[in-house]
Amino acid sequence: MRVALLGPPGSGKGTQSEVLRDRLGVPHISSGDLLRDAVARGTELGRAAKGFMDRGELVPDDLVLGMIRERLQAGDCNEGWLLDGFPRTLAQAEALDRLLENEGRGGLQHVVSLRVPLEDVVVRLGGRRTCGGCGRLYHVKFQPPKADGTCDACGAALVTRRDDEEATIRARLGVYERQTAPLLAYYSKRGLLREVDGTAAPSNVSGEILTALKDRR
């Protein structure tokens, strides 16, 4: 299955992807995770992307497209994938369509948009903690770890993302409204879009997404 998850920062794309990749049996491809990994490794891409990410701006399309093209060519993507955080601009969406058409392995089948009020996502991102080892996501109030500051799964320390301070969160939300929200109309016109209420408990949101994907198979 070839699926893209859309939604504002903090709407739960990463949280849901952790569940969906297992349920759907496809790799989870997060453009944000790939970029953070490039920054951590100090690659050319990472050095070019870092300033944009720290300011809460989008990394230029050509850089992101090259990275996604390479990732989609990996062997584990033959049976499908779950995109999280990509595409994020109309230019990226159109480039993805062209890329998939050229590769001849099938186009995008489903686009799921998570709806969460903007004030809720500010609270979610302010309390988000991420495992520095395995990347598992937590929230200090909504999804706390069993032991403070430590990952339940691998025992590594939990960290706060650099772009999760309030001013940067608000900048990211503005970018979403201006540059990413227009994709909803783009995919709705093509009959691919399914909107899901992202305010419920994570397990209920997963259930709703899986039902939406089943309905449209």
For binding to ligand AP5 (CB under 6 A), which residues are involved?
A: 7, 9-15, 31-32, 35, 52-53, 56-59, 64, 85-86, 88, 92, 124-125, 127-128, 137-139, 142-143, 163, 172, 201-202, 205
Nearer to ligand AP5, 48 or 192 (CB): 48
From the candidates 36, 88, 124, 136, which is the catalytic residue?
Answer: 88
DSSP for 10-26 reads: TSSHHHHHHHHHHHHTS
Between CA 92 and CA 210 the distance in angstroms is: 25
**Active site annotation includes 21:** no
From the candidates 71, 128, 136, 194, which is the catalytic residue?
Answer: 128
Nearer to ligand AP5, 206 or 213 (CB): 206
Nearer to ligand AP5, 104 or 119 (CB): 119
From the candidates 2, 36, 124, 172, which is the catalytic residue?
Answer: 172
> Active-site positions?
13, 88, 128, 161, 172
